[in-house]
Amino acid sequence: MTLLTVHELALGYEGKPIVEHLSFALHEGEYLCILGENGSGKTTLMRTLLGLQPPLSGRLLWAEGLKNAVGYLPQQTPVQKDFPASVREVVLSGCQGRMGFRPFYGAAEKAMARENMERTGVLALQDRCYRELSGGQQQRVLLARALCAASRVLLLDEPASGLDPEAREMLYDVIEKLNREGMAVVMITHDLDVARRYASHILRMGRNPVLVPKTEHFARKGGEQA
């Protein structure tokens, strides 16, 4: 099933394009890694996918009912790292978009939060204060939060930035597991080795972006480079 269609998109600011002729489709269960130099349009594309910035031209179409049910894990800021709430409260906050006008979390939201804490390996930390956790633990908590908003798509902006190697590998393993369970992943990364290891496709950003399928440059999920 096609979850997202992008056709001849132009991205930029004040009418000046930094990216043109961008076309690709995201299908259920795919893992798309976005690579490129600083200033190549990676973050601009992510903001456009999230509906935070309009394209200069072209078409971006989410599957019906999916536009407002996409999970997003941004790069962490110092303010986020010092957030004074329990792990459970942070994860539950990802359910707010599902609640309509209800002021309190119900049994369904609490069950979803628990399930997603379990999926990301932070259930044992649910009563801990978020700001007391390590960087890797915090990112997995925020991933659980993003899953509470996600139906079938996760958008990730350099999710392992600043993590030590062990925490980085643990986070990537969790994301890969989610992808194998059917979650489509769109991830910005500077690490070509990570893209080759996990991605089904690589989108190389620039003035004229290029979508590279796995059959041309690498094998799926950690295979040998072609």
Concatenated DSSP letters for 87-124?
HHHHHHGGGGGGSTT-SS--HHHHHHHHHHHHHTT-GG
Q: Calculate the CA dihedral of residues 200, 171, 97, 150 and round it to 10 degrees.
A: 30
According to DSSP, the residues that pair with 25 across neighbouring strands are 5
pLDDT confidence of 185, banded at 50, 70, 90? Answer: very high
pLDDT at 221: 44
Query: Exposed, middle or buried, 18 (CB in 10 Å: 0-12/13-18/19+)?
Result: middle
- Encode pLDDT of 24-39 as tens digits: 999 999 999 999 998 8
Between 97 and 1, residue with greater pLDDT: 1
pLDDT (mean) for 53-77: 88
Distance CA 184, CA 189 (A): 16
- Angle, to 10 degrees, between the axis of helix 165-180 and the axis of helix 107-119? 120
Between 212 and 10, residue with greater pLDDT: 10
pLDDT at 84: 84
Mean pLDDT of the chain: 88
Report pTM: 0.87
